[in-house]
Amino acid sequence: MTDLHQPDTSTSLGERAYHDLRARIVRLDFAPGDVLRENDLQELLGVGRTPIREALQRLAREHFVTVIPRRGMYVSGIELEELSLLFETRTVLEPYAARLAATRGTDGDWDAMAATLDQTHQPGLEAAELLGLDRRCHEIMWSAAGNRFLVDTLDMLYAQSDRLWHLYLSDVSDMDHAVEQHTAILDALRSGDGDAAAEQVDAHVRAFDQQVRAAVTERLTSPLAG
């Protein structure tokens, strides 16, 4: 008989496996098209079959993993036509989250965002480190919005955008400018101006979209393409 007062170990391990595997997919440790074998993943992560299956099922629902019956699981690619779907969703939900956060956020939230932005001024930060700080700013805003369903969705969408950055922009992206945009976002959030915050966030997401599209177009038209 299961003790209802004991923590659900399989669930916590599944959560850990999910975040670990997603991070590896985002960083391209597992590249699009790579086969994901349960036995190999168990050995890599040091967990059992059930947590691995839970993690893979969740990643499949979020389109990081593709399941092909009788053939196995593969890391999903991001098709060109899906870029529009990804960013049009972010341009709806991120500004909405900004409006909520401007109303519901606290001085503590905005102090935390300001502290994160202060870290971006450290000398010698690499682009990937700046991207991590960019994500932290988004996470603070999502949390301040006070809607866990919105947070879960935006977390997944940002991770897909993060993967696009690693696929196309890691060598060319100007993350300094992207992080600087958060200063204007923070000012609007702290002042409680939901419309201004939404406008700034929309511009921030669209700028990233334009960078990705330009990088994809350049790669496709390169003489070395294909």
Q: CB under 8 Å to 112, separation ≥6 — which residues? A: 140
Res. 6: pLDDT tops 60: no
Is residue 224 exposed (0-12), middle (13-18) or buried (19+ Cβ within 10 Å)?
A: exposed
In the prediction, which pLDDT does 80 show? 74
Instruction: Report whether 148 contacts 109 (CB < 8 A).
Output: no
Q: How confident is the model at residue 173 (pLDDT cuts 50, 70, 90)?
A: low
Instruction: Report whether 58 contacts 159 (CB < 8 A).
Output: no
In the chain, what percentage of residues exceed pLDDT 90? 66
**Mean pLDDT highest for which of 63-72, 91-100, 177-186?**
91-100
| Sign of the CA dihedral running 214, 215, 217, 218 | positive
Task: Note the pTM of the prediction, 2 decimals.
Answer: 0.85
**Mean pLDDT highest for which of 13-17, 141-145, 217-221?**
141-145
DSSP state of 222: S
**pLDDT tens digits, 147-171:** 999 999 999 999 999 998 888 887 7
Is residue 226 exposed (0-12), middle (13-18) or buried (19+ Cβ within 10 Å)?
A: exposed
Residue 225 or residue 102, greater confidence: 102
In the prediction, which pLDDT does 218 show? 79
Domains and CATH numbers, the chain: 9-75 (1.10.10.10), 80-221 (1.20.120.530)
Place of tokens 């805003």: 141
CA neighbor of 157 nearest in space, from 67, 216, 93: 93
